Amino acid sequence: MALVASEASLLKYNTFGIDCRAKELAVATKVEDVVELSQSGKLREGGYVVIGQGSNLVFAEKYDGLVLVMENKGVRVTREDDMSVTVEAAAGEVWDEFVKLCVDNGWHGIENLTAIPGTVGASAVQNIGAYGVEAKDVIESVAAYDVREKKMVEFKAADCGYGYRESRFKHAEGKRYVVTSVRYRLDKKYEPVLTYKALADELGMMGARDADTVSKTVAKIRWSKLPRPEELGNAGSFFKNPVVGKEKYEELKRDNPDMPVHETEEGYKLAAGWLIDRCGWKGRTLGRCGVYEKQALVLVNRGGCTGQDVRKLAGSIAEDVKRKFGVKIECEAEFVGF
C-alpha cells in the first residue's frame, strides 16, 4: 500500500523549492499502489494531482487534495530486431537516468533530451523537448490507470494528442489517467540530430558526434545556461515559445530585425526569452521570485518564494510582453491548487 501522509510538506517534491503542504500525500512504488488507492476511494477525479519530481509545477500554499508521487521503477526490452528496440520504462524512473541507460546500451533517439529533470511518466505527459527532439518522436505507447473506469488502459502515440509541450494528459479530461509506464521505440543505428546551432557548433569543435558525446555535450550546454534546481529553485523554461501567423511575424520582424524566429509547421515560433528580455525583465526580482540573469525564460526562487510570488511575477511579465509586442505568452509550468 502506498504511504499516505496527512498535512504533508511538498518542499522536497518540487524543484522550485516552494514550502507548501498537501492535505494528503501518497507515494506509489508499484502500479498496485495506484490501484489500491483508487479502490479505497482515495483517488477521486478532481481530488488529486499526480506528480513525478515536481519540476514543472508551482504549488499554492496548500493543495487541498491528494498528491500522488509516482516512484515505480523498472526498465525492460519488450521487442528487439537488428534495427531497433522497444524499451518499456516505469513512470517513476528518473528521466535522465533512463537516457543514460539507453545511451550506454546503444539505443538511440533520446540523447538530445539529456539532463531534463523529471520522470519517465512526465516525459509522455509533457511531450518534453530539447535540441530538435521531442519525446513524441520516439514514444510508441503509454500505459495508464484510468481512475474513472478503474482499469488499466493503453494509448498508441497517435492517440495521445501530441503537440508542442502538449498531450491529452495535460487537459481536464486527461487527468483521469495516471501514467504507469511508457514504451519508446529506439534505433540501433545512430543518426545524430544536430539542427540546433549551439549543439552543432560545440560538437564541430570537438570533431565527434557519437551518441555518448552528443549526450554529454547537451548536458554541458544546458547547465551552462540553466540554474541547477538544487542550487537555485526553478521549474525550467517558465513560458512556452509563442507561435504567431505570418502577418504578425512580418509586423514584428519589421520593427525588430534582430528578433530570433524558428519556422515550424504550426507557424512562426518566437523566443519567449527574447521577448521577456526586451521588456527589461532579465535579472529583475518581484517579491521573492526573480528572472534568471542568464536566461529570461527561467523564473527562480530568491529565497522563501511562494506560489503566489511566482504567479504575480509570471502575470506581470506576460502583461508586459502583451503590451509591448501584442503577443500572448503562456506558462509552460503548471500552477496547482490556486
Nearest to 117 by CA among 276, 226, 242, 271: 226
Contact 143, 171 (CB under 8 A): no
Q: Which residue's C-alpha cell is 504575480?
A: 312
Which of these ranges, 102-110, 206-214, 231-239, 317-325, lies near ligand FAD under the rule CB under 6 A? 231-239
Options 17, 65, 229, 290; binder of ligand FAD; rule CB under 6 A:
229
178 Cα distance to chain centroid? 16
Q: Give whichever of 50 and 305 is closer to ligand FAD, judged by the CB atom.
A: 50
- Strand pairing partners for 84? 187
Q: Give whichever of 35 and 178 is closer to ligand FAD, judged by the CB atom.
A: 178
Number of residues that bind ligand FAD (CB under 6 A): 33
Does 31 interact with ligand FAD (rule: CB under 6 A)? no
Catalytic residue (choose from 55, 167, 181, 237): 237
Does 38 interact with ligand FAD (rule: CB under 6 A)? no
Give me the 81-120 binding string for ligand FAD, x by CB under 6 A, dash otherwise: ----------x------------------------xxxx-
Nearest to 214 by CA among 98, 95, 75, 100: 100
How far lies 156's CA from each of 63, 152, 262, 277, in Å? 32, 14, 29, 39
Q: Give whichever of 51 and 157 is closer to ligand FAD, judged by the CB atom.
A: 51
Q: Give whichever of 232 and 252 is closer to ligand FAD, judged by the CB atom.
A: 232
Q: Does 165 qualify as catalytic in the annotation?
A: yes
Site for ligand FAD in 175-214 (CB under 6 A): 178-179
Does 50 interact with ligand FAD (rule: CB under 6 A)? yes
Options 8, 31, 35, 52; binder of ligand FAD; rule CB under 6 A:
52
**What DSSP line would sit under 57-96, residue for residue?**
EEE-SEEEEEEEEE----EEEEEE-SSEEEEEEETTSBHH
Rounded CA-CA distance 53/69 in Å is: 8
Does 307 interact with ligand FAD (rule: CB under 6 A)? no
Contact 68, 132 (CB under 8 A): no
Does 295 interact with ligand FAD (rule: CB under 6 A)? no
Q: How far is the CB of 188 from ligand FAD (least distance, A)?
A: 25
SS3 content of the chain, % helix, strand, coil (to 5): 30, 30, 35
Does 130 interact with ligand FAD (rule: CB under 6 A)? yes
Contact 10, 67 (CB under 8 A): yes
Does 337 interact with ligand FAD (rule: CB under 6 A)? no
Contact 57, 122 (CB under 8 A): no
Q: How far is the CB of 70 from ligand FAD (least distance, A)?
A: 4
Q: Does 237 qualify as catalytic in the annotation?
A: yes
Does 123 interact with ligand FAD (rule: CB under 6 A)? yes
Within 10 A of 39 (CB to CB), how many other CB atoms are there?
10
Nearest to 50 by CA among 154, 177, 234, 159: 177
Q: Give whichever of 252 and 333 is closer to ligand FAD, judged by the CB atom.
A: 333
Does 242 interact with ligand FAD (rule: CB under 6 A)? no
251 Cα distance to chain centroid? 31
Catalytic residue (choose from 36, 97, 165, 278): 165
Q: Does 265 qualify as catalytic in the annotation?
A: no
Contact 195, 203 (CB under 8 A): no
Catalytic residue (choose from 71, 93, 134, 332): 332
What residues line the site for ligand FAD (CB under 6 A)?
Answer: 15, 49-57, 70, 91, 116-119, 121-123, 125-126, 128-130, 169, 178-179, 226, 229, 234-236, 334
Catalytic residues: 165, 237, 332
